[in-house]
Structure 1
Amino acid sequence: MIEHQPLPYRPMSRHRRSEGKKGGTRRAENNKIYAHPLPLTFSQTYVTLGLSRHTVLNPCCEGYWDPLTRSVWVTNPKDSATLWQRGFFGKGNISRSEPSWLSRQVNIRKAELSGKVTSEEITAKRREQRKRFKMDRANAIVTAAAEAEEAFRIGKTVTNPIMIPSGATWKPADEAPEKGPSAIPQNHNKQDEGRDGELDDIVDVEHLQLTPQEAFFLIWCFDCLSVLNPQTAEGMPLQEIWLAFQTCYMDPGPSLQLRPDNPFIVNYVAYHHYRSLGWTVKSGVKFCVDYLLYKRGPVFDHAEFALVICPVYEDPADSDSSTLCFRSTQNISWSWLSTVNRVNSQVMKMLILCYVTIPSSVLVSPEMLGSPKCLAYYSVREVTVRRFIPARMRD
């Protein structure tokens, strides 16, 4: 069975303690929008004699299984908003996390009509200026080195050395005029603004992508997601979904056989373990780890823990006979571990090694792997890794 162990206590920094005390309209709005930690909600109805009864409200979302991307596509905007706002499940396919492509396009269209500058344009301008600054600095360094070498060759002193530009003093040679109220055409009247201001023609082309672990957690634990077959558009039963999520990580062939070290099962064991303890689990590929653990969600605060899944074979013979491309504890080097720990220490995240014990293939047969009942034979243990700094930890 999956063992539940509490994460180690980590005292928050002074900056993060004071951050929780700050109020504001934005935080109050987020508390209202993301008030439900899970897709299921409860309604309270009053009956006679002052008694109340609670009923479970199931959103019943739908998604299509895509084996090429190993994800479930939720194309209905209402279902996408429900799954994101109630537990932060999935991510937008053309967004960083929250599926906000449509709202960004609406803001861009409104900014174009009003003559204002959007945040995307400001970011693009800063990146272009940074690129030009680096090119000007490199050219100045090369020119100054060539001039100094020429002066040394002829035995003279450089009287007017070339100044190397710095980030504090450098300015672009040709500044483009910024957008403002004067950028609006003179013939832009209210009639044109009403005609150009129609935003209904913007088609939302974004969908929510759920990983197999997220999708199966919603299906098996809450029964609030229906996965449809992309060919027949019909609902897939639970056993078919379980097998489809396993086979997408395996090479197709006549010798296709389920194994207890399937990457989907190992990752789902860790995902289910922390989700059942109340953590919000998101992908950690940005920080070279498997998962990130949030107390409430990415909207409220940063992740406190970075998780690396380390599968451990109960029977060493299973590791030798495995044909799956899955990272094991034998392939993790100390240099790689030190690098990952350094990366996450710089962003105020504690590294957690999550050891998932894989049961022996003798104990768990391929027939047993065809059902989620095999999850009872897996266990989870945690090891905290801290970066040792001798100059700072002498006391």
Structure 2
Amino acid sequence: MEIKINSSTVIVVYKQKIKNIVHMDVDTSIQFPLASSNRIVFTGHFNGYGVEINSIEEMAMLYHMGYFGKGTKSRSRPKVIKSHGCPVIMRKRQYGKRQFWSKKFKNIHEANNADEFLHKINVLSKKIIKDHSKELKKDIIDLISSDEDCNSDSRRNGYKSCMDSDNEAADIVVIVPNSDSEGDDYFEKFEMKSCLNIIKCEEKLALTTQEAFFLLYSIGCLKIVNNGKFLEVNECWNLFLTGDCHFVEKYVVYHYYRSKGYIVKPGIKFGGDYLIYRDGPGINHADFIVVIKFEQEPQNWLWTLGLVRMAASTLKEIIIIEVCKPVEEDIILPKDLCKYTVKELVLSRNSTQIINDSEG
């Protein structure tokens, strides 16, 4: 197919196979022990849009054994910074934001405690009404008044002791002034002060829903906790499906390239759905940008040329992949995921050049 733009020809070449597909070396492949006696099981917590790993050891192992996830405070690899007794230095705006978070979540916590207290009073009052109908008013008034006095004192004392204990255990941070440019004037008027670190933002490993389900369903090395209970495979599938209407297509593509030995990472930075690496981020650049073709989204020449331009500007190749649903209508997911197939198209951009070799 050819189209002419400003007297230059853009040739879009469609190919049926990915070029130079190679499997990764042993050092960068998934190295989870799959034997039941040596199986490693990690624990993740669902946060509404993804899964978080809190343990430092589990974070390091998951990222080392396949480059799963991303550090919440790092660009890619999760890093745990140890202060070694030195205070943390932060900008004034950062400390102000943490104070806002502290007030916000403290009010939510107090509101939840108040609602729980009133709920218990309501349940207990109904029980008293049923068991002691003769002395209804006296018993209820005495009970509520005494409980309110005790709980108000306990909440007040408990909150104070909790704040005192938190203040004792909190780290000291050094607050420095805000500045976009650290010039001579900034350091001449430089003043800093020490404060208590109210909220500590710990480094976590953030897994996408596709990564989390791959570890849960395909490898069986992850347990996901939501609302205090472990999720089964079907429960996790339904939970991820409600949060993303294209979760099936995205997971099929993710599983497909992982099974080929590629490292698959989110590709939103380059305008695609995924980036696929031969050896992983930090070792080599991504070779391909994967764009999933959904049935509901229209594709035209303008869309295709946008992808070709993106490939040329990023020095990568674009893979358009389409997920084909099975013909059978009575499929059960995720059990029948193996019945899905994919089609791949590789877009390449070739610009023709006229070279004048004539003499004179």
TM-score by length of 2: 0.58
Q: Which residue of 1 aligns with 2:252?
A: 269
CA 1:205–1:57: 2 relative to 1, 3 Å: same
What does 1:199-348 correspond to in 2, within 5 Å?
205-230=202-227, 233-249=228-244, 262-312=245-295, 328=297, 331-348=298-315
For residues 288 and 373 of structure 1, the distance between their equivalents in structure 2, rounded to whole angstroms, comes to 31
The alignment of Structure 1 onto Structure 2 pairs a total of residues equal to 248
Gaps of 5+ in 1: 11-30, 43-53, 113-123, 130-171, 184-195, 250-261, 313-326
CA separation of 1:111 and 1:377: change in aligned 2, threshold 3 A: closer
5+ residue gaps, structure 2, are 1-15, 90-177
Give 1:128 deviation, angstroms.
4.3
Q: Following superposition, which runs of at least 4 residues in structure 1 exceed 3 angstroms of deviation? A: 54-57, 109-112, 174-178, 201-204
Contact 1:269 1:378 in 2 (8 A): yes
CA–CA distance in 2 between the matches of 1:301 and 1:347? 14
Residues in 2 aligned to 1:278 and 1:393: alpha-carbon distance in whole angstroms: 42
List aligned pairs for 1:349-360, cutoff 5 A. 349-359=316-326
% identical aligned pairs: 30
C-alpha distance 308-393 of structure 1, shift in aligned 2 (>3 A): farther
- C-alpha change, 1:287 and 1:393, in structure 2 (3 Å) is farther
Structure 1 residues 89-100: aligned runs within 5 Å:
89-100=68-79
Q: CA deviation at 1:74?
A: 1.1
Aligned AA for 1:288? G
SS across alignment from 1:381: strand
Cα RMSD (Å) of the superposition?
A: 4.0
Residue 175 of structure 1, CA deviation: 7.7
Kindly indicate whether the alpha-carbon contact (under 8 Å) linking 1:40 and 1:58 is maintained by their aligned counterparts in 2: yes
**Bigger RCO of structures 1 and 2 (CA < 8 A, at least 6 apart):** 2
> Deviation at 1:203?
5.4
Distance 1:341 1:91, change over 3 A: same
Greater shift, 55-64 or 204-213, is seen at 55-64
Cross-structure match for 1:65: 46
User: Distance between the aligned counterparts of 1:294 and 1:392, measured in 2?
Assistant: 35
Task: State how 1:1-395 maps to structure 2 within 5 Å.
Answer: 7-9=18-20, 35=27, 37-41=29-33, 57-66=38-47, 68-69=48-49, 71-100=50-79, 102-103=80-81, 106=83, 128=181, 205-230=202-227, 233-249=228-244, 262-312=245-295, 328=297, 331-359=298-326, 363-365=328-330, 368-369=331-332, 371-391=333-353
Q: Are the counterparts in 2 of residues 90 and 209 from structure 1 also a CA contact under 8 Å?
A: yes
Q: Decide whether the 8 Å contact of 1:305 with 1:349 is kept in 2.
A: yes
C-alpha displacement of 1:204: 5.8
Residues 244 and 202 (structure 1 numbering): CA distance in 2 closer, same or farther, change over 3 Å?
Answer: closer
- Cα distance in 2 for partners of 1:349, 1:392 equals 25
